[in-house]
Amino acid sequence: MGQYENVLQLLMEALQSNQSATEVKEVPKTTSARTEDTFDIPVGVSNRHIHLSKADLYSLFGDWYQLKKTKDLSQPGQYACNETVTICGPKGAIEKVRILGPLRDQTQVEILEGDTFKLGIATQPRMSGQLKGSPGITIIGSKGSVQLTEGLIIAQRHIHMTPADSERLGVRDKQIVSIEFNGPRGGILNNVAIRANATSALECHIDTEEANAMGAKSSTKVKIIK
Amino acid sequence: MGQYENVLQLLMEALQSNQSATEVKEVPKTTSARTEDTFDIPVGVSNRHIHLSKADLYSLFGDWYQLKKTKDLSQPGQYACNETVTICGPKGAIEKVRILGPLRDQTQVEILEGDTFKLGIATQPRMSGQLKGSPGITIIGSKGSVQLTEGLIIAQRHIHMTPADSERLGVRDKQIVSIEFNGPRGGILNNVAIRANATSALECHIDTEEANAMGAKSSTKVKIIK
């Protein structure tokens, strides 16, 4: 009898842990209880954009040029600028690529997978800042152009959060998780990197192709699956 | 004792059915055994395109115009044509939209979610042919233009197959399943419609945004999850 009870206990534990991964559709879409099972991670959708170094900014727009902020972004200290650039590869150019501030140590161009065909340059999903070995690209501004030798990436999908968020959500900085989307175009995206630090706001960053494939808008909330 | 065995039996059945939905990552990526657990459904990636009625073809390219086939597609009898059209909405136009043959009873324009912003016309994922209530759009050809009152859709992701395939895969025509993608941008897309009929070839049709979000190419194989 004791033997059966042990087996039962093990089975019920296994069953519960499996159910928590599959019971997704039964979870209410909005709830005030902030637990792991709720869809409570806000989504931020990024189109192609560029972060500039000071040297490249001056080459593109002239010495001592100051970028004009047009909008604060959800991540503290980050903002969209009025200025855009054109990026050019061997097969084509893409105009009106938005500059995001503030300036960084190294210029980084974040494009969509679909852009790699227009430009004729292949690149892979990478975490921001991990540019070693990434391809270069030509950037054109109002006063000049820059030929990057590296810095062209597709942004790996990731979730910004504070250390307090990561503790509450039971994840750690640099952990790879999956995220689940509700709705008629819903599903799961794997390989989403956790980026936990004190200067972040809780937000899951995906690009426009990922958002469109999952039917997600900036009002969408997603759920972490570990 | 009999009571415990019944409970055990129920728990084990529930556990097995849950495991079949979650055991995905343990499945080998390639195998010659064609079972439900293998990634053996070839992917076909569709960019935006248009199917024309005969009346609209004549309005766009002139009376008695014959489309020029350039390439057979994987679905028997379907082909890409040399001709393209421009499609126009209140916010913008998209050029070089490929015509696919043969002609159909009603013109159908299949676009990407991202195109809805360029055009300034919202539309939803729908199954091919289910055009009632869908928005219209203006189409421009070499000899004239057509103002559709309906026919603009985003193609709902779907899997073409023969009845023999559907039997082997344990699915039925019109069933909604999910599909799983391997790889660094892998994940799961829900709400994929099964389309089983005798004139189909086994192929999972997704659009370029879905393919890019999942890191899929036309050589990619996916797995059905029920």
A62 and A114 co-located in one domain: yes
A60 and A90 co-located in one domain: yes
A164 interfaces chain B, CB cutoff of 8 Å: no
Q: Which of B129, B155, B181 is the last residue of a domain?
A: B155
Cis check: omega of the bond before B102, within 30 degrees of 0: yes
A93 and A163 co-located in one domain: no
Stretch 202-221 of chain B: residues touching chain A, C-beta under 8 Å: 208-210, 212-215
Give the separation between CA A147 and CA B63, rounded to whole angstroms.
51
Quote the pLDDT of residue A22: 37
B136 and B214 co-located in one domain: no
Stretch 123-152 of chain B: residues touching chain A, C-beta under 8 Å: 124-125
Q: How far is CA A81 from CA A53, A58, A100, A103, in A?
A: 14, 15, 6, 11
Quote the pLDDT of residue B138: 98
A116 and A183 co-located in one domain: no
CB B100 within 8 A of CB B49: yes
Give the separation between CA B7 and CA A92, rounded to whole angstroms.
65
Confidence band (pLDDT; 50, 70, 90) for B38?
confident
Instruction: Please report, in tens digits, the pLDDT of each residue of chain A (226 residues total).
Output: 344 555 455 444 444 444 333 333 333 333 334 444 688 999 999 999 999 999 999 999 999 999 999 999 999 999 999 999 999 999 999 999 999 999 999 999 999 999 999 999 999 999 999 999 999 999 999 999 999 999 999 999 999 999 999 999 999 999 999 999 999 999 999 999 999 999 999 999 999 999 999 999 988 999 999 8
A165 and A151 co-located in one domain: no
A148 and A198 co-located in one domain: no
B115 interfaces chain A, CB cutoff of 8 Å: no
Option in A1, A11, A114 nearest B11 (CB): A11
pTM for the whole structure: 0.82
Chain B residues whose CB is inside 8 A of the A18 CB are 15, 18-19, 22
Phi, psi (rounded to 5 degrees) for A225 = -120, 125
B149 and B62 co-located in one domain: yes
What is the overall mean pLDDT for chain B?
Answer: 88
Query: Best interface-test mutation with A: which of B1, B4, B18 has the largest number of A CBs within 10 A?
Result: B18
Closest approach of chain B CAs to the CA of A130, in angstroms?
A: 16
Task: Provide mean pLDDT across the span B77-81.
Answer: 97
Task: Provide mean pLDDT across the span B173-194.
Answer: 97
- Put simply, the answer to whether B209 touches A212 (Cβ < 8 Å) is yes
Quote the pLDDT of residue B21: 38
Q: Write the CATH number for A203.
A: 2.40.40.20
- Put simply, the answer to whether A209 touches B209 (Cβ < 8 Å) is yes
Q: Which of A155, A186, A205 is the last residue of a domain?
A: A155
Phi, psi (rounded to 5 degrees) for A109 = -110, 120
Which 3 state secondary structure label does DSSP give A123? coil
Phi, psi (rounded to 5 degrees) for B30 = -135, 140
B146 and B174 co-located in one domain: no
Spatial CA neighbour of A202 closest among A79, A41, A71: A41
Residue with tokens 């959500």: A169
CB A160 within 8 A of CB A205: yes
Cis check: omega of the bond before A102, within 30 degrees of 0: yes
Give the separation between CA B40 and CA B222, rounded to whole angstroms.
6
B150 and B52 co-located in one domain: yes
Identity of residue A174: K
**Total count of domains within chain B:** 2
A184 interfaces chain B, CB cutoff of 8 Å: yes
Name the pairing type of β-strands A187-196 and A158-161.
parallel
Closest approach of chain A CAs to the CA of B54, in angstroms?
A: 32
Range of the domain at B199: 36-43+157-225
HSE of B221 in the Cβ direction (CA atoms, 13 Å)? 13
